[in-house]
Amino acid sequence: MVMANNKTQCFTCNKEKITYPCKGCLKEFCLIHLTQHQQILNEELNDITNEYNEFKQKINQQKQNPQNDLLINQIDQWERNSIEIIQKKAEECRKIVIEYLPTFFNDLENKFNDLNEQIKHINAENDFNEINLNYLRNQLREITEELNNSSKISIQQDSQAFINDISIILSKKSKFNKWKQSGITVVGGNGQGHELDQLNSPRGIFTDKKKNIFIADYWNSRIVEWKYNAKEGQIITGGNGQGDRMNQLDRPTDVIVDHQNNSIIIADKGNRRVIQWFNQNQQILIENIDCCGLAMDKYGFLYVSDCVKNEVRRWKMEEYNNEGIVVAGGNGKGNQLNQLDFPNFIFVDEDQSVYVSDSSNHRVMKWRKEVKEGRIMAGGNGKGENLNQLFGPQGVIVDDLGQIYVADFENDRVMRWCEEKEEGEIVVGGNGRGYQYNQLNGPIGLSFDDEGKLYVVDNLNHRIQKFEIIL
């Protein structure tokens, strides 16, 4: 609390007095009511402390709960019941076999004796030909096959298990995860600049399995990598001024790591090309394309959004010399279901469905594989800040449950949209444009790590914010 220089109106008594601001609620209080305000805060802190202690006690009680013993007992009982059923069934089958086999062999012996009598008769009469011999031979073969195959009795295993199966069901995390609203600055946050601990309007982001972060540092025309918990980044490529030489970039917009080929693929938008960085060398994959967003599916196909042609194309690995295949848009600029208007970031799911941030249409579209039209998955109700609207959406990612996360650039928030829902919900941000830890200023890129932590490229604050998941 810091004393103000001028008299202002106390929030509680509404009188003009020397007041003191509360940094938490940003309200002004006179000395008397400031004390009361602090007392109220202390009481709230005590309440939170009591709730914490109750919760801790509850955890300790549940740790001592013999629920595990109960589960083990249930498994043991299932085992005993199953063994009893198996033993009973096996005994029934053994009984059937034991009762049947004497009859089976008796029938064979009768057939064999009958055949033997026929052979004796033919020998005694000494009157036989090829027909008689073939008949005897076939009869003997049939009896032999019956003995060898025992076709009249066999074991048949039913594909439907007669033992009730059991399995251990571990409760999954809630599909509606929530994140702490105060972000942690993990990249940048040291003002706009070109030093190794700074960024200048970052855009695309990629987080690998080691939680290393790759960023398309737009106005610095470079790709930088920040190792996990590092205080500064290292330049992967670019950083030699804007240009089209092979050691230069011109305002890159997106970056992805191709683990299969151990390389980095970059949307070098200012140079209208997609390049691959591999073993300290760069090569041009695709030329003459106004590339904004990149994605790669599990089969190694590369997807690139073209914000001028208003389309997304797909290329097969090692076949970048062709024109690719249009998988979204490609029907001119517009807001129809078969059109896009300034598509930028893209995401491709397991089914090769393409999600596109259709920025100027203020919506996110989903194009299933080999369809002619897309489907509105988020927004599409004009630009605005209502929960059914977006305003210049940018980054888009989809989780394993099909929930869509969108960087709502102009609204300074990240939204989550569930399929079939008419409205989204605010995940982080949405607290006005600013640089506080619970605020964003033009969020543009999104990424998850393998623990579900959310990374947001806070473009105009020149930083990357990490939001921890609430377990």
3 state SS for 364-418: EEEECCCCCCCEEEEECCCECCCCCCECCEEEEEECCCCCEEEEEHHHCEEEEEC
Question: Whole-angstrom Cα distance, residue 172 to residue 189?
Answer: 35
Q: What is the mean pLDDT of residues 401-413?
A: 96
pLDDT of residue 405: 97
Query: Helix and strand tally (H, E) in the chain?
Result: 3, 30
Q: What is the mean pLDDT of residues 300-312?
A: 96
Backbone angles phi and psi of 285, in degrees to 5: -90, -50
Q: What is the mean pLDDT of residues 46-50?
A: 89
Q: What is the mean pLDDT of residues 388-405?
A: 95
> Would the pLDDT of 170 be above 80?
no
pLDDT bin (cut points 50, 70, 90) of residue 442 is very high
CATH 1.20.120.10 fits 179-469, yes or no: no
**What does the mean pLDDT of the chain come to?**
87
pLDDT of residue 175: 58
pLDDT of residue 1: 44
Residue 140, exposed/middle/buried by CB under 10 A (0-12, 13-18, 19+)? Answer: middle
pLDDT bin (cut points 50, 70, 90) of residue 365 is very high
pLDDT over 90, % of the chain: 55
pLDDT of residue 173: 46
CB 343 within 8 A of CB 331: no
Backbone angles phi and psi of 80, in degrees to 5: -65, -45
Residue ranges per structural domain of the chain: 83-170, 179-469
Q: What is the mean pLDDT of residues 88-116?
A: 78
C-alpha distances in Å from residue 217, one per residue of 213, 221, 237, 321, 422: 12, 6, 11, 27, 35
Say which range, 103-112, 253-262, 421-430, has the weakest mean pLDDT.
Answer: 103-112
- Dig out the tokens for 384 from the structure: 């605005």
Cβ of 222: how many Cβ atoms within 10 Å? Answer: 24
pLDDT bin (cut points 50, 70, 90) of residue 196 is very high
> Would the pLDDT of 331 be above 70?
yes
pLDDT bin (cut points 50, 70, 90) of residue 253 is very high
Question: Whole-angstrom Cα distance, residue 307 to residue 313?
Answer: 11
Closest CA to 328 of 273, 272, 372, 380: 372
Query: What pLDDT digit, counting tens, does each position of 50-75 carry?
Result: 888 888 887 777 766 655 667 778 88
DSSP category for residue 177: -
Angle at 356 between CA 312 and CA 222, to 5 degrees: 75
Q: What is the mean pLDDT of residues 92-117?
A: 77
The better pLDDT of the pair 57, 228 is held by: 228
Q: pTM for the complete prediction? A: 0.66
> Would the pLDDT of 169 be above 70?
no
pLDDT of residue 168: 55
pLDDT over 70, % of the chain: 89
pLDDT of residue 301: 93
pLDDT bin (cut points 50, 70, 90) of residue 3 is very low
- Dig out the tokens for 129 from the structure: 């030909």
pLDDT of residue 152: 58
> Would the pLDDT of 431 be above 80?
yes
Q: What does the chain come to in residues?
A: 471
Q: CB under 8 Å to 244, separation ≥6 — which residues?
A: 250, 271
Closest CA to 264 of 253, 272, 276, 273: 276
pLDDT bin (cut points 50, 70, 90) of residue 100 is confident
Q: What is the mean pLDDT of residues 154-174?
A: 59
The better pLDDT of the pair 428, 136 is held by: 428
pLDDT of residue 2: 47
Crossing angle between the packed helical segments 67-125 and 130-149, to the nearest 10 degrees: 160
Say which range, 1-15, 144-158, 423-437, has the weakest mean pLDDT.
Answer: 144-158
pLDDT of residue 338: 96
> Would the pLDDT of 186 be above 50?
yes
Residue 18's Cβ-side half-sphere holds a number of Cα atoms within 13 Å equal to: 6
pLDDT of residue 131: 67
pLDDT bin (cut points 50, 70, 90) of residue 107 is confident
